[in-house]
Amino acid sequence: MTVWKSPLFLSGFLIIVSLFFGSIIYSNFVPNDKQPVMQIRYDENKNAIDGAPIAPFKDMPFGTDRFGVSILHKVIDGAKYTLGVAFFIAFARLFFGTFLGLVISQLPKFILNTLSKLFESFYYAPATIIAYLLLYPVLQIFTWSLPRDIQTIFAVILLVIIAVPPIMVTVANETSKFLENEFISSVKVLGGSRLHTLRKHVLPHLRPRLSILYSQQLIATLLLGAHLGILQVFIGGTDFITLDPLENNTVPVAMINEWSSMIGANYYQIRGDRWIVFAPLAGFAITILALNFMVEAMKRQYLAKGAYTKRTRRVKKTKNPVPVKKLSQEQFDRIMKTGTDN
Amino acid sequence: MYLLVLRRIVYFLMPIVGVFFIGALPYLFFSNVQGIEAVARLLESGAIKNALFLDQDLGLFFRNYLENIGSLMLRLITFSNVEYYEYQQIKLLFPTILTPFYYSVKLVIGAFTLAISSSLILALIVKTLPDKIQKGVRFVFFSLESLPDIFIVVMIQYGMILYFRNTGTLLFPIAHSDQNPTYFIPILCLAIIPSLFLTRTLLFLLDDEDSKTYVEFARAKGLRYALILYVHMLRNSLFSLFYYSKTVYWLLISTLFMVETIMAIPGITDFMLDNGPTTPEVITVSILLMFVPFYLLFTGVSYILSHKLGRTEEEVA
C-alpha cells in the first residue's frame, strides 16, 4: 500500500476524512436546535445595521441565510449528509456493477459485445437528464401520493441504478481482457475452477482499479447531486415555505442542510446575497478537488507499467567495506620485490 | 460475409436503440405517465389547485415500457410528428424544437472549436517550457480541471458582475434575453473544462511521442526541438487525440445543462428540462438530435482512420 506515502493522496484523503468526521463530531456538540442564529446585526450604539441575510463579518464568518442561520454551521452540519449519501451510493453502484460485470464476463462473448454497445448510450445521455427525468416527477409533481421515506428510498435506488450499466460494462471488459492472459490457461490446465480464477487472480487484479473507480464514482455522485440541486430536485426532500401569503410567493426549501439543496434552494439569491450559495459551492469544489487528487495519485501508483507484478520488499543490503590489511614495512617491501604471487 | 455486414450494422445501431431505452424509462417506473401531463394541463388551466388527483404507483412496468419504445420508434421511422404539451396547448415537436436545437448546436460547436484551438496552443506552450515550470503548470491545469463545472460557471458569471460593478461597463451579456442573445460567456464556460482535459491529454500523447526513435533521430540530425514538436510530433499525436472526442462530447453536454439553466438560455437542454417530465418522448428526440450527427461523424472518421492507418480505437485510446 505504497499509495499512502504519496503526498497527493494523503492530502486528499485527510481533507475528506476531516470533513466527514469533523461534521459528525461538530453536530454532536452543536445540534440543530442550538444552531447560531442572528436575525438583526447591531453596531456598538445598538443601531441596527444589517438584517438577515447578514453579510459575512467576524461573528458569522460566512454570513447567514434569509432566516438568520449561520451559513458556516449549515455547511459543516451538511457535510455529513452530502458525503455520507455519496459514500453509500458510490459503494452500492460499485458493488452491483462489479458483481454483474463478473457474471457477464463469464457468459459468451457476444453478450458482452451487445451490452457494451447498447449501454454506450449512457455516455451520450448525461446522467443528469436521466436522473432529472425520473426524480423530478417523484420529488416534485406527485409528492402527495407517496410517503416521504419512499421518495427518498426511490431517489437513492435510482441514483444507484443509473450508473450500474456503465460500471458493469467497464468491469466486464477489464475482466475479459485480463482473462486472455497466458497464465490463465495455465490456471485452467492445473485445475483451477472459474470461481478460483475469479477469486485468486481476477479480484486481486481488479482491486486497485476498483478503488480508483470508487473515487471516480464518488466524484460523479457529488456532481450529479449538485446538478440536481441547481435543477431544484433535492434528494434530502423538499418542503415548501410560503414567504408572502398574499402573493402566493412559495419557495422550495431543503429539509436538511445538504449542500446541493442549499445551492439549489438559494440559487435565485446569488446576485444579492452571494455568500449563501458560495459557501456550499466551495465545499463541493474542495471535496471534488481532494477526491481528484486521490484518483490521480492512485492512477500514478497502480496503472503504471508493471504495477501488476507484486513488488517484493526491497531488502537493503548494507555493504561492509572490505577490510584493508595493514601491511608492515617489511611485508610491503617483499611484495614490491616479488609481486603477490609468491 | 453478409453475416459480418449485418453484425456491423446491428452493432452500429445499438447505441441509438439504447437512447430509446433511456428515454422511455419513466414508463418503466411510473404507472401513469400520461396522467402527469393531464394533471399539469388541469393545474395550469386552474381547474384544480394541486396534484392530489394524480394516482401514481411506483414499480416495474415492463409491458408499458416496451410498448412505448416500440410506438415511439415506429413514429420516428415513419417520420410522423410527436406531440407534446406546453402552455395549455398541444404542440407538434418538430418545427418548435429546432430553434432551441440550433442555439445549442452553435454553443457546442463554438465551445468545441475554442477548446481544440486553445488546447493546441496551451499544450505547445507548456511543452516548450523548462521542466521545473512545466511541472508546476501541469499541476495547476490538473487542479483547475478537477473543479466542478458549476463552480466554474458561477465564478465566471460572478466575475463578470464584479467587473461590471467596479467599472460600469458590461463586457459581455451574462444572461440571455431575446433582444440580446448571449454567445461568448456560455461558450467560454463550456470550453474551459474540455480544453483543460484536451491539453492534459495532448501533453500525455506528446510525452509518449518523446520517447520514440524518430524524435531522437531528428534531434541527432540537429533539428531544433521546437521544429520537431510543431511539425512531426503534433501531427502524429493529433490522430490519437481524435479518439478522445467522445469524452469531450460527454463533458460538453453535461456542462451544457448547467450553463443553460444558470444563464437562462433557451437551448435544447432547457427545452428537455421543461417538457421532459410531462412528455418523455421529448427527451428521446432531443438526445437523438444531439447524438446522432456526432455519432455518425465519429464512427465515419474512426472507420476511415482505422483503414488508412491500420490502427484501431483500442490500441490508441
- pLDDT, tens digit, 9 for 90 and up, residues B15-64: 888 888 888 888 888 887 777 777 777 776 767 766 666 677 778 888 88
Which residues of chain B neighbour A121 with C-beta distances below 8 Å? 15-19, 21-22, 291
Identity of the residue in B40, B52, B142 whose CB atom sits nearest the CB atom of A296:
B142
Strand, coil or helix: B56 = coil
Is residue B3 predicted with pLDDT exceeding 70? yes
Q: Given this model, what pLDDT does residue B315 score?
A: 47
* Alpha carbons B96 and B76: distance in angstroms, whole number: 16
Contact at 8 Å (CB) between B154 and A270? yes
Q: Given this model, what pLDDT does residue A292 score?
A: 92
Q: Average pLDDT of chain B?
A: 84
ipTM, interface predicted TM-score of the complex: 0.87
**Eight-class DSSP state of A254:** E
List CB contacts of A145: < 8 A, sequence separation 6 or more. B51, B52, B54, B55, B56
Q: Residue A144 and residue B276: Cβ atoms within 8 Å?
A: no
Q: Residue B280 and residue A133: Cβ atoms within 8 Å?
A: yes
Which residues of chain B neighbour A112 with C-beta distances below 8 Å? none
Give DSSP secondary structure letters for B84-130. Answer: EEETTEEEEHHHHHHHHHHHHHHHHHHHHHHHHHHHHHHHHHHHHS-
**Eight-class DSSP state of B83:** E
Contact at 8 Å (CB) between A290 and A67? no
Q: In this complex, is the C-beta atom of A118 within 8 Å of any C-beta atom belonging to chain B?
A: yes
Q: Which string of b and e fits A60-77 if b means at least 16 CB within 10 Å? A: bebbbbbebbbbbbbbbb
Nearest-CA distance B147 → chain A (Å): 6
Phi-psi region of A297 (alpha: psi -120 to 50; beta: other; left: phi over 0): alpha
List CB contacts of B284: < 8 A, sequence separation 6 or more. B19, B20, B22, B23, B24, B72
Nearest residue to A23 (alpha-carbon basis) of A79, A62, A82, A87 = A79
Q: Residue A133 and residue B253: Cβ atoms within 8 Å?
A: no
Q: Given this model, what pLDDT does residue A309 score?
A: 47
Which residues of chain A neighbour B51 with C-beta distances below 8 Å? 141-145
Identity of the residue in B11, B55, B158 whose CB atom sits nearest the CB atom of A274:
B158
Residue of chain A whose alpha carbon sits nearest to that of B253: A126
The label of the residue with cell 447591531 reads A42
Q: Residue A284 and residue B11: Cβ atoms within 8 Å?
A: no
Which of the residue ranges A20-24, B176-180, B255-259 has the most confident prediction, judged by mean pLDDT? A20-24
Which one-letter amino acid corresponds to residue A341? Answer: D
Q: In this complex, is the C-beta atom of A111 within 8 Å of any C-beta atom belonging to chain B?
A: no
Residues of chain A predicted below pLDDT 70: 1, 141-145, 236-252, 304-319, 339-342
Q: Residue A230 and residue B258: Cβ atoms within 8 Å?
A: yes
Q: Given this model, what pLDDT does residue B53 score?
A: 64
Which residues of chain A neighbour B253 with C-beta distances below 8 Å? 124, 126
Q: Residue A223 and residue B36: Cβ atoms within 8 Å?
A: no
Is residue B221 predicted with pLDDT exceeding 50? yes
Cis status, amide bond into A53, omega within 30 of 0: yes
pLDDT band at residue B157 under the 50/70/90 scheme: confident
In chain A, residues 287-326 whose CB comes closer than 8 Å to chain B: 288-289, 291-293, 296
Q: What is the pLDDT of residues B263-278, one digit of tens each?
A: 888 889 888 888 887 8
Contact at 8 Å (CB) between B28 and B61? yes
Q: Given this model, what pLDDT does residue B316 score?
A: 46
